Structure 1
Amino acid sequence: MQPLKIGILNVMHDKAETNARFTKVLTHAGVPVELHFYYPKTHYPGGVPADVGRILAPLDMTAAARMAGFIITGAPIEKFAFDDVTYIDEARALMDVLAVHRVTQLYLCWGGMAALDHFYGIKKHMLPHKLFGVYPHHLIAPSSLLAGLPEGFYAAHARYAEMDRDQIDADPRLRLEATTTDGALFLAGNRQAQQTFMFAHLEYGQKGLLHEYQREVAAHPDRFYRKPEHYFADPATMSGPQFKWEQTQHVFFDQWVARVAKEQQVKERI
């Protein structure tokens, strides 16, 4: 079996750690994969930092069109209007290439927001405060990507914005598959277009939320930041971060890789 070629546009702040996370979750099932990590060229008009150039390649649309699957990661920029993001035109062009060539697409957190805005005109709004922590989830519709998970399965969220659920529900092309038990978006998709939109950070390892909190506090020590909820064994001391979403992580990414393989086989037969 030839390795599945999967491209990843890495626009996270911690690029080396993000590469390592996706390598781990996408190889967990043991399916041979060949991962290609990219950065958006328009994000670095003054020159690519050496640490970025060592681990990421400049986005190549021709190569992206040949991938079996492609992921656009989250990014800590959901407070910005989409049009104010330096590389949004390049990201949108990539989305169009993936759609035209029917590459199996996975859009995560900010990537999911940008894709829903671009393809379907779904509006983004800011939350009263950051959705940050580990939450139980409710299955709304059957999903092959969540098959085998129990009602109340856990996932880790970390975002300041949300997409308009009423618009998603009203669009016949889209299907909302799961939310938190409080109604925050988790998973939506358009199977006909081979698109999945996931609004949690399932790729995070056990200390992912802790590291995100520490990064924000270090960047702006004068500001107040909410600690991740339902995460620490001892919230008062922030000790004992719990990996409650590990099962969800394995189920989702294993089954997404299986979907990529299946849809690639279909394309090769056509």
Structure 2
Amino acid sequence: MTIYCGKKIVGADLMRYNPNICVDIADENLPKIGILNLMPNKYDTEKQLLELLSRTKLDLEVNFIRLLTHSSKSVPNEYLEENYEFFDEVKEDIDCLIVTGAPVEKLEFNQVSYIDELNKIMDYMKSKGKKSVFICWGAQAALNHYYGIRKELCEEKVFGIFKHKKLEECLLLEGISDNFYAPHSRHTRLRSEDIRRYSALTTLAYSEGAGEYIIVDDNSLYILGHCEYHKETLKNEYFRDLNKGLSINIPKNYFVNDDPYNDIIESWQEDGVKLYENWLRRSLKLQ
């Protein structure tokens, strides 16, 4: 359906081919989704999430949000001032919040410069009963803030497309096959035993290779992977790190015959769209 931005979002401009994304003012009665974009490459993240949301069967207004206590080094400040809002400016209007990941996972949470502001945002959403979805590091940060669950460094980066098994039958996973695939790209993980200590938390999907993927409680959805990723996102990450001289393995189950110069095996996007559509319908109490 149609996603309304109302701002000159570069990610929307990159998808002029997509008739379901409209840079225009939305009807005031449409559900309003806030996206707290913590990623350095904000344009790519805008594009990924707008594309994913546009493939749901919902009309939505999207507001991109920035932090007061963090300045982006990769995007002109003028762009953010013109097209992003501070959380306090939109917090009463938004119905749900999406919090992206961030490339700070090797830091302790208390070493992240903006963690106090992020924690206050999470507290507000929970206190008002407004639903949130947290992605990758965002999910780890939220689980640490709400439950004290710590992350630990992996010996090898979790990188590629991993097979997951549904552990529960529920509305959030309706229409998703019992075994499905999703991208992961992270250096840290959570321990299953830490999550099981909390009766409020339920793990809905798990991967032998990547660990927990989808965790829920009454107010939030925690996605430890990246079902919003475009087809070539992992490819771009792989060659970016190679060009920096970093040690990086070929992403698993991604290239045909594990050859980075072959085609990409695209296996996750439909299930990612379904997960977000199910979450939105449940959160917004839509039929």
The one-letter amino acid paired with 2:247 is: F
Q: Give the TM-score, by structure 2 length.
A: 0.84
Selected match of 1:232 from 236, 251, 255: 255
- Structure 1: which amino acid aligns with 2:258? P
Q: Which residue of structure 2 lines up, in the alignment, with residue 74 of structure 1?
A: 101
Which letter does structure 2 place at the counterpart of 1:225? I
2:26 equivalent to 1:3: no
Deviation at 1:65, TM superposition (A): 3.8
Deviation at 1:135, TM superposition (A): 1.0
Identity, % of aligned positions = 28
Does residue 196 (structure 1) correspond to residue 201 (structure 2)? The answer is no
User: For 1:193-244, what per-residue CA distance to the aligned partner results, in whole angstroms no more than 9, with x for missing partners?
Assistant: x2110101000011111122223333x22x2111211000142343211211
* Counterparts of 1:41 and 1:52, CA distance in 2: 15
Q: Is the 8 A contact 2:182 2:268 kept in 1?
A: yes
In the alignment, structure 1 segments of 5+ residues that lack a partner are 266-270
Confirm or deny that 1:20 pairs with 2:47.
yes
Query: What is the DSSP-based 3-state SS (H/G/I as helix, E as strand, rest coil) of the residue aligned with 1:43?
Result: coil
The residue type equivalent to 1:113 in the other structure is Q
- For structure 2, which runs of at least 5 residues remain unmatched after alignment? 1-26
Query: Does 2:242 match 1:217?
Result: yes
Task: Report the AA paired with residue 255 of structure 1.
Answer: N
Which amino acid counterpart does residue 240 of structure 2 have in structure 1?
Answer: R
1:55 Cα deviation (Å)? 6.6
Give the conservation status (yes or no) of the 8 Å contact 1:234–1:240: no
| Aligned CA distance change for structure 1 residues 51 and 204 (closer, same or farther; 3 Å) | farther
* Structure with more helix by fraction: 1
Are 2:188 and 1:161 aligned? yes
The structural deviation recorded for 1:183 is 6.1
Q: Secondary structure at the match of 1:94?
A: helix
Could you tell me the TM-score, scaled by structure 1's length?
A: 0.89
Question: Partner residue of 2:266?
Answer: 243
Q: Deviations over 1:133-163 (max 9, x none)?
A: 0011111122322112222211111111012
Structure 1 residue matching 2:172: 3-state secondary structure: coil
1:205 to 230, 237, 253: 230
Q: Aligned Cα RMSD in Å? A: 2.1
2:131 is the counterpart of 1:108: no
**How many angstroms apart in 1 are the aligned matches of 2:115 and 2:79?**
19
Whether the aligned pair in 1 keeps the contact of 2:66 and 2:87 (CA below 8 Å) is no
